[in-house]
Structure 1
Amino acid sequence: MAGVELLTGRAGASASALALETAATRHPGALTRIALIGNPNSGKTSLFNQLTGLNQKVGNFPGVTVDRKTGVSQLTPQLRAEIIDLPGTYSLYPKSLDEKVITDLLYDRGSAQYPDFVVITADASNLRRNLLLFTQLADLGLPAVLALNMMDVAEQHGVHIDIAALQQELGVPIIPMNARKGIGIAALKIVMAQMLGAPTVHFYEPEDELLPMIRQIRYYFNLHNDYLALHYAHQYRHIGFLSPDDRAYIQELTEKYGFEPTARQAQETIDRYTLINHILLNAVEVTRTERNEPYSNRLDRVLTHKVWGYLIFFAVLFLLFQAVFAWASYPMELIDEGVAWINSLIQTNFNGPLVSLLTEGVLAGLGGVLIFIPQIALLFAFIAVLEETGYMARVTFMMDRIMRKFGLNGKSVVPLISGVACAVPAIMSARTIENWKDRIITIFVTPLMSCSARIPVYTVLIGLVVPDVPVLGIFNLRGVALMGLYLLGFFAAILSAWAMKFLLKTTERSYFIMEFPVYRWPRWKNVGLTIVEKVKTFVFQAGKVILAISILLWVLATYGPPGKQEGAEQQVRTERQRLEQAQPAATHTPTENTFADETERLVASAKLENSYAGMFGHVLEPVIRPLGFDWKIGIALITSFAAREVFVGTISTIYSVGQDATQQTVQQKLSAERDEQGNPFFTPARAMSLLVFYVFAMQCMSTLAATYRETKGWKWPLLQLIYMTGLAYVSSLLVYQAMV
């Protein structure tokens, strides 16, 4: 390839040796650091996956909450390099938080994270637009390689590129490639191994009247070229590593010389495109036939249609929801049964407090982590396929106009819909939203969508108070009530987003610029890597928080003040023994085992009431009594924070007190529960109050852990918890007081 020939031979070998020595001096003992940068949809992620494979990890850029993907690539048998995957951007004038991390990294030459050189990915079918970023990076003084990706797409569009001529014009190595299929990767590695210390090229010189200001900035900060100093003048307010004194100095200079950044940026862009047009004039030939309309455009007429487009999208969402909800049930049951089998095996052969901690705390918490893996894997498999094929870009375009009215954008649709299955992967899928404000609002309101974990709670309580009668001859009233709860959560999410649009103050404007990639078959290797990365992120990040809280909840529910649980247990056993002796002898034999089992349930309930968790329930009772709840429901509210399904198990134990042992189902036990006056405890008012509370209350600790993981701090999880708890309390209070 022509791109490989540029640095070969005697001069290339000398440059390579000098490069390795320079890198060793700048980063002693460190790997060669290579940054991947390019326009969105230029194939940068595919190239990163091809270079690093499974040798990837996700961390934070220093000082910010944007994820950084890094990996290790073996360029030659003797040379390994660290590859940094930077967020996609169209230019070095950032508009979003993701793009700002690029400038912070590339402007600070003294940083330990500064790359030794960059690989710029460019869409060969749209080279003119992609070269704008390339020329800016070259003018920063960074040695560069141009990875000319999607050559097959360019040929399909009638774009023919003379690689040798273009390489001569740009003065850098150019590697034609197809990153999705791995074509050109070997040649790119060879050139990358030779690039360190290579000379840089320049395309743009600032106007003469700006030089006095630029030179003062350059010498004050000890910068290596004029163009970098010009960017300091443009963006000093947003450069994270500058001190207040540094910003004040630059501001004084810009005011002194009358520097107008907007006008200068526009003029620079015009000048660059004039130069790019000249470069491409003799290197690129485009042959178009109007009769052969691209296949993607024909599909777009249907898939983005103002009527059919939405119908097709909802059909796709229905399939996605059914897959995540139904297909994941079998592996989730296997995981649940596997953890239960291990628990049973340990409890059968061992006993003691440590065994209880292991089985009821550690393994239960671990099961709460592992059971989400099938849903996460399936959800992100579908999302990855939709993104790989190019359909996801069309979905966000269609939905943006609707969602923006409520403070969201088109990319918020997938997290909201997938939140009906599980809020954890739904919150993680909000990662695709570039704008910080839109992403935070989406993460904040997604838990208001009723997840599948609430179905057992809804089913039990609806069955208590809603008659099993038909509606309009074809619908069931209980089914209508269940749908109403889901719609209530959806409208709450939309209205909350609308309110946050006004309350969340930010200077960052929300722009939605979407480039449609061409439709293509997904690369299953990239889909697999996406699944592995998301599952690893959940297990090792959110999983740590879930496990810790599970252990804490076990301790609170197992232990209590000294002597209090023992006294309660003795009281229950004494009362049960008196009751057993008072029964006729003929009834002992057929009910002996059942009576003993009932006694153990009563003992467990008494110990729970006198545990620290039970004490919290009694402390909580005065607060929740206006909602119609007692201390028993208070305990269920506390324990179900681990997972909403825990509510059913908790009330099943608590409401066994005083009940006939023949009543087996939770619904039967709740129906038989009586209040202090002997009336049914779960009236329609109390049941509806509890239902509304669970519609709005924070779903579970897994959701908080996911929010913490995505926002990189406790501020938003705590605000989310406070808001949803307050909304649940007020709504439940209004419902109960209105119905009693």
Structure 2
Amino acid sequence: MSKNNIQIALVGNPNSGKTSLFNSLTGLRQQVGNFPGVTVDKKTGIAELNETSQATFIDLPGTYSLYPKRPDEWVSYKVLIGQDKTVKPDLVVLVADASNLKRNLLFCSQIIDLNVPVVMALTMMDLAKQKRTVIDIPGLERELGIPIVPVNPRKNTGIKELKKSIELVVKNKGVAIRPVLDMQELAAAPVNELKHLVPNISDYGAVHSLINYESFNYTAQVKDDIEQIVQKHHFNATKIQAEEITERFRRIKKIMDATVVQDNPLRKTIITEKLDKVLLHRKWGYVIMLAVMLLLFQSIFWLASFPMDLIDGAFGNFTEYLSKTLPEAWWSDLLVNGVVAGIGGVVIFVPQIMILFALVTLLEDSGYMARISFLSDRLMRKAGLNGKSVMPLISGMACAIPAVMSARSIENRKERLLTILITPLMSCSARLPVYVIMISLVVPDKRILGFIGLQGLVMMGLYLFSFVIAFAVAYVAKGLLKIKEKSFFILELPDYREPRWSNVFYTMWEKAKIFVVDAGKIIIVISIILWFAQSHGPSGRLEPLEANYTAAMEAAQSDEAKETLTFQYENDKLANSYAGIVGKSIEPAIAPLGYDWKIGIALITSFAAREVFVGTMGTLYSSGGDVDENDAGLKEKMHNAVREDGTKVYTLATGVSIMLFYLLAMQCMSTLAIVKRETKSWKWPVIQTVYMTGLAYIFSFIAYQLLK
């Protein structure tokens, strides 16, 4: 027998414990998508209420009031106001922080006045107790006219009581709810006139229709009629909003005085205030922030290297097994070098994504992330960004993919787009193999002042240069982007508290799943295309090569000779493949940068991932097998490589040119896939590719021409 399904909207202020309650209620029965038209996570989950009923919870984005300013707040607003066609909740569960009750009651009282069924889930009771705040819950229920249930999602307490309250409210649905604020006192005439025009709407809902009717799902005729009401009664939305908030806080103060006993505000400073004196210090605060960022940055490398090596090794062994087991055929080559290689290219990023979001979630849950944004806001604003841009930029030095995803926390559309556009300029870990092998080739292993290594100094300079370029691009782009949206960096500094470990693991899993499923589809398709371009070519070129190779192998007397022939054949086959033909065709364009056609092929194959540069060089220079940046054989052969005129290929000029190109160019299809997903358009990935490739060409050209 099918169960009755109740749709419930889960709402609350940011940092109120809403996500923890959602996870506790729904467990693993969750789905993540996007609300139509916006890149905002739409989390839904199912919870059993009793033997005959179940509830579908929709976890709406956190918001402070029913006056939205950000895209995610508009999502919550339209659902609550009844203007979302896809989500029609039967009931609202409002999550309120008991330790900041006054602020939470503003949002709560607004929802009550919409005359929708409401249950309050009161969280953070332990923090309220630490602050010596005592709440008379039965008294608060009488004042607000709604059921209130204390819950602790971390300990899974109060969940049964919350479900029972939900059942009771659903049974009594249709009973009139006593409003907290009488809107008739503020705008009786326009409210009553609109209620005749739009039936079954509360007084407070009528006020919001008068304010935001242009954004509501009304017919053109109804919008014209509402506009006439607004003009007729000289309805001033700003004035009404200010009066409403003022009166609402007066009412909330009376409720608080009657039901809440708070400790003397002049008592000794709590631990949060003591910590903030150090962590937000005008000088030491920045030193501590840099130390935390450095630790975060290094941890992504330290912690991710082992699982990434395991994944790389596992896929390498699996590929080798398939190569030996499967018969020689086009479909087996496609499977091994196209599909499996594409999947491996997706999965190998997962450890970095999971670790980054775990560390970021720890910082958020502890309360320190808000402090980082606060400290960095002044510097970021000079480049058209804000304090919340710092985390995507820093994390972009590990991997641009999760960094772009983390830019969702930036509310301002222009600042979020600017952050996404410049984040790939940060020197990610995929560039490291290129930097290491080129530095070892062209930079002498010398010491400055006896202890500073020149090669290490060059490496650090590359990372600093990426920051300088990123800020310069943001500074220029802020004047070109014609997005007029006021930016207010209003930030709540939450109390410090122990992170919610269940939330950390849940976030790790969700972010990894979103990346693998959404970006993986595009990555695998492009990987197959790249496989085809490297494995195939015009028959007029490849057939003679294969015939000559077969004849030479039959005549070869030793294993060493056969191995040399195989390497030469693979090299010639690559040169005459479609990728090789493209490499030769672009050689005139890249020659001014100091590159030959082999480097051109590496530029093309590196689009799959920048670190492919080393593997491509290994094939081109007949090193054979899997090659990493520490392969002495490859380094020696690259060092000895010469052009047709006998000059060395890898000089200081060429090496610096290559490093600058890989630092600035957009050579990461997975990043482009994520940017497309986050911006919901191919426009911005295309712009990103054009401007980054243009910058890479210009700087590489200048470097080569000056140093050659």
> TM-score per shorter chain, which class?
over 0.9
1:113 and 2:90 are equivalent in the alignment: no
Number of corresponding residues? 698
Match of 1:195 in 2: 169
Residue 650 to residue 733, structure 1, CA distance change in 2 (3 Å): same
How do 1:250-649 and structure 2 match up within 5 A?
A: 250-288=226-264, 290-351=266-327, 352-571=329-548, 592-649=558-615
Moved more, 216-225 or 92-101: 216-225
Match of 1:665 in 2: 633
CA distance in 2, matches of 1:178, 1:700: 43
Structure 1 segments unaligned to the other structure (5+ residues): 1-27, 582-587
Match of 2:648 in 1: 680
Secondary structure of the structure 1 residue equivalent to 2:43: strand
Q: TM-score, normalised by structure 2?
A: 0.93
CA distance in 2, matches of 1:500, 1:238: 29
Name the aligned partner's letter for residue 706 of structure 1.
I
Q: CA deviation at 1:223?
A: 4.8
Q: Percent identity?
A: 48
How do 1:62-77 and structure 2 match up within 5 A?
A: 62-77=36-51
CA distance in 1, matches of 2:685, 2:111: 38
Q: CA deviation at 1:230?
A: 1.6
Q: CA deviation at 1:105?
A: 2.0
CA distance in 1, matches of 2:406, 2:605: 27
Match of 2:26 in 1: 52
CA distance in 1, matches of 2:661, 2:83: 54
Secondary structure of the structure 1 residue equivalent to 2:583: helix
1:40 and 2:8 are equivalent in the alignment: no
Secondary structure of the structure 1 residue equivalent to 2:539: coil
Q: CA deviation at 1:308?
A: 2.1
Secondary structure of the structure 1 residue equivalent to 2:508: helix
CA distance in 1, matches of 2:593, 2:683: 28
Match of 1:102 in 2: 76
Asked if the contact 1:145/1:173 (under 8 Å) is kept, the reply is yes
Moved more, 294-303 or 212-221: 212-221
Q: CA deviation at 1:119?
A: 0.7
Asked if the contact 1:673/1:681 (under 8 Å) is kept, the reply is yes
Q: CA deviation at 1:191?
A: 0.9
Asked if the contact 2:4/2:52 (under 8 Å) is kept, the reply is no
Secondary structure of the structure 1 residue equivalent to 2:234: coil
Secondary structure of the structure 2 residue equivalent to 1:665: helix
The 4+ residue runs of structure 1 with deviation greater than 6 A are none
CA distance in 2, matches of 1:571, 1:664: 31
Asked if the contact 2:623/2:633 (under 8 Å) is kept, the reply is no
1:709 and 2:663 are equivalent in the alignment: no
1:576-607 CA-partner distances (Å, limit 9, x unpaired) = 689x89xxxxxx6xxx3232222112211222
Moved more, 173-182 or 643-652: 173-182
Q: CA deviation at 1:127?
A: 1.5
Asked if the contact 2:66/2:107 (under 8 Å) is kept, the reply is yes
CA distance in 2, matches of 1:495, 1:242: 45
Name the aligned partner's letter for residue 5 of structure 2.
L
1:36-77 CA-partner distances (Å, limit 9, x unpaired) = 111111111111111112222211112222221111112223
Q: CA deviation at 1:619?
A: 3.0
Residue 468 to residue 573, structure 1, CA distance change in 2 (3 Å): farther
Structure 2 segments unaligned to the other structure (5+ residues): 625-630
Secondary structure of the structure 2 residue equivalent to 1:492: helix
Name the aligned partner's letter for residue 607 of structure 2.
F
Residue 247 to residue 488, structure 1, CA distance change in 2 (3 Å): farther
| RMSD of Structure 2 on Structure 1 (CA) | 2.4
Asked if the contact 2:25/2:159 (under 8 Å) is kept, the reply is yes
Name the aligned partner's letter for residue 388 of structure 2.
K
Secondary structure of the structure 2 residue equivalent to 1:76: coil
1:181 and 2:155 are equivalent in the alignment: yes
CA distance in 2, matches of 1:392, 1:709: 25
1:165 and 2:139 are equivalent in the alignment: yes
Match of 2:665 in 1: 697
1:132 and 2:106 are equivalent in the alignment: yes
Residue 615 to residue 284, structure 1, CA distance change in 2 (3 Å): same
1:131-172 CA-partner distances (Å, limit 9, x unpaired) = 111111112121101112111111211211111111111110
1:427-460 CA-partner distances (Å, limit 9, x unpaired) = 2222322332222222221110111111111112
Q: CA deviation at 1:107?
A: 2.8
Secondary structure of the structure 1 residue equivalent to 2:407: helix
Moved more, 156-165 or 106-115: 106-115
Asked if the contact 2:553/2:565 (under 8 Å) is kept, the reply is no
Q: TM-score, normalised by structure 1?
A: 0.90
Secondary structure of the structure 1 residue equivalent to 2:56: strand
Q: CA deviation at 1:357?
A: 0.9
Name the aligned partner's letter for residue 64 of structure 1.
V
Residue 112 to residue 652, structure 1, CA distance change in 2 (3 Å): closer
Asked if the contact 2:81/2:205 (under 8 Å) is kept, the reply is yes
Name the aligned partner's letter for residue 674 of structure 1.
V
Residue 303 to residue 567, structure 1, CA distance change in 2 (3 Å): same
Q: CA deviation at 1:109?
A: 5.5
Q: CA deviation at 1:222?
A: 4.1
Match of 2:126 among 145, 152, 157: 152
